[in-house]
């Protein structure tokens, strides 16, 4: 019973990581869609740079200065003090991304999370006594019983 629960927990954890990674790509695509539907373009200065979050400051054509609290989308390879072009949503200038970058940059990290999750989960499941050949046999058996009239 404990092994069965452990196997279920491993599958749930790997599936959850996979789901969250896919959700991340969908959220990035949604943000891009929102920006593209009401796009403004301007120059910005990078205030802080990191791999996960970078802060920028920019001025919109109406003269307002913006420093989005959540930073800029797709912040990799930025340096402090650098001047970059950004694209933002005119109706919500806190939604801003580095010009020329889009959700495609989120695909490889998301796929990496999925691959690593299952690369860890499958050997753990095997160790817990549930080899893939057993899964396939069980799936085939279930399919055969469902197909019978």
Sheet holding 83-89, edge to edge: 65-66, 55-59, 39-48, 83-89, 92-98
Q: Which residues sit opposite 96 in a β-bridge?
A: 88
CATH no. for 2-147: 2.40.50.140
Task: Decide if 79 contacts 46 (C-beta within 8 A).
Answer: yes
Q: What are phi and psi of 121, to 5 degrees?
A: -65, -40
pLDDT digits (tens, 9 = 90+) for 33-88: 999 999 999 999 999 998 788 999 999 999 999 999 989 999 888 999 999 999 99
Q: The whole model's pTM is what?
A: 0.75
138 burial class (0-12, 13-18, 19+ CB within 10 angstroms)?
Answer: exposed
Q: Label residue 94 left, alpha or beta by phi (over 0 means left) and psi (-120 to 50 means alpha).
A: alpha
The domain segmentation of the chain, as residue ranges, is 2-147
């Amino acid at each position: 019973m404990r092994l069965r629960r452990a196997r279920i927990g491993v599958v749930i954890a790997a599936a959850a990581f996979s789901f969250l990674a896919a959700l991340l790509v969908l959220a990035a695509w949604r943000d891009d869609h929102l920006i593209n539907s009401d796009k403004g373009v301007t120059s910005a200065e990078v205030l802080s740079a990191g791999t996960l979050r970078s802060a920028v400051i920019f001025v919109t054509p109406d003269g307002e200065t913006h420093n989005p609290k959540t930073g800029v989308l797709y912040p990799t390879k930025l340096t402090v003090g650098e001047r970059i072009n950004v694209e933002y949503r005119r109706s919500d200038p806190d939604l801003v991304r580095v010009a020329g970058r889009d959700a495609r940059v989120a695909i490889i990290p998301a796929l990496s999370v999925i691959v690593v999750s299952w690369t860890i989960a499958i050997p753990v499941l095997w160790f817990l006594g549930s080899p893939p050949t057993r899964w396939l046999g069980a799936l085939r058996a279930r399919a055969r019983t469902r197909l019978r009239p």
